[in-house]
Amino acid sequence: MNASSALGAVTPSPLARRNPTVKLAILFIVSLALLFVFDPVTPGLLYLLGLAAVLGFARIPLRTLALAHLPFVGFALGILVVNALSRPGEVLVDLPPIRVTVAGLLVGSALALRTMAIGILSIGFIGTTDPVSLMTSLHQHARLSARVTFAVLAGYRMLQQLPREWQVIRQAQSVRAPLRSDGATRFGIREFGRAAFTLLVVSLRRGERMSQSLESRGLGLGARTVWRPVPLGPADWLLLAGTLGVLALVIVGVSRLGLGLGPGMLL
């Protein structure tokens, strides 16, 4: 299960009313800043602050939030284990064949917490952002071309229809499929491959028809109007400034305490 499938529909919340382009910019800037941080304290603090913000302003149910965490937790644990067991340095635990080093544990925990910090921000972004509003906002405020935004929206609509198409294909196959001894429909590797190939062909044909439809309507040849404009107001700028201020405060504060580590830890 991935984060997007766990989150589902966007629920009304204070964070959901903020401009999608601003939220995407915040996610990008924080992720970029964390690329140059290799201490566990900074990403750990940012994760806790991000978790508090998502719980307080995104109104995502706790169960949904926990399920959306699963991919990031699994990836973070993998990073931690690989670095702890593979990096050279002062040995902390030596139980052959397990050998954990101090540097590996430090770098691994930093990268794992970085994954969690970016993960909680991604969960908050996905859980409070409507895809249509995102593409409309990128077209309005980020000056993304109409050819790109409308094509992405068309592709998104196709992705939404894939589960229903799969169900229809499976129902059609089950009518002709032989039954097992217990009366259930047989669905093995061969049947799965046929259904997947059929879904691929149907999607390609639908994509071709959609591209022809967009081209016949002159997509990208001139200026396009927006049916439902996405507002960009002072509250959005305040969110951006406040988040960047907190980010700078955490990084500078950790550095002043002597806990900050840079890319030199990888050497």
Which residues constitute the domain of residue 122? Answer: 3-136+232-266
Same-domain status, 12 and 32 = yes
Residue 180 phi, psi (nearest 5): -80, 180
CA distance 260 to 267: 16
Residues 6+ apart with CB under 8 A from 219: 146, 147, 150, 151
- Cβ 58 vs Cβ 15: under 8 Å: yes
In a domain, 126, yes or no: yes
Q: What is the DSSP letter of 8?
A: -
- Cβ 66 vs Cβ 8: under 8 Å: no
Query: 130: left (phi > 0), else alpha (psi -120 to 50), else beta?
Result: beta
Number of folded domains that form the chain: 2
Structure tokens, 80:
């931690």
Cis peptide before 12 (omega within 30 of 0): no
Give the CA distances from residue 156 to residues 152, 207, 213, 237, in Å, rounded to whole numbers and listed in that order: 6, 11, 16, 28
Same-domain status, 83 and 108 = yes
Q: Quickly count: other Cβ atoms within 10 Å of residue 187's Cβ.
A: 14
Same-domain status, 102 and 34 = yes
The continuous run of DSSP H or E covering 186 comes out as none
In a domain, 252, yes or no: yes
Instruction: Work out the angle between the directed axes of helices 102-127 and 62-86 (0-180°, nearest 10).
Output: 160
> What pLDDT is attached to residue 237?
95
In a domain, 169, yes or no: yes
Same-domain status, 193 and 81 = no
Same-domain status, 43 and 156 = no
In a domain, 202, yes or no: yes
> What pLDDT is attached to residue 87?
76
| DSSP one-letter string for 49-100 | HHHHHHHHHT---HHHHHHHHHHHHHHHHHHHHHHHHH--SSEEEEETTEEE
> What pLDDT is attached to residue 1?
47
CA distance 53 to 76: 21
> What pLDDT is attached to residue 249?
94
Same-domain status, 37 and 57 = yes
Same-domain status, 212 and 249 = no
Q: Per-block average pLDDT, block size 10, for the chain (267 residues)?
A: 56 89 94 89 94 91 91 93 81 74 85 94 91 87 82 77 85 74 69 86 85 70 73 93 94 82 56
- Cβ 14 vs Cβ 238: under 8 Å: no
Same-domain status, 152 and 131 = no
How distant is the alpha carbon of residue 176 from its chain centre? Answer: 39
> What pLDDT is attached to residue 3?
53
pTM score, whole prediction:
0.76
Same-domain status, 24 and 154 = no
> What pLDDT is attached to residue 26?
95
Same-domain status, 35 and 124 = yes
In a domain, 222, yes or no: no
CA distance 54 to 34: 19
Same-domain status, 94 and 116 = yes
> What pLDDT is attached to residue 167?
87
CA distance 184 to 48: 49
Q: Which amino acid is at 228?
A: R
Same-domain status, 99 and 200 = no
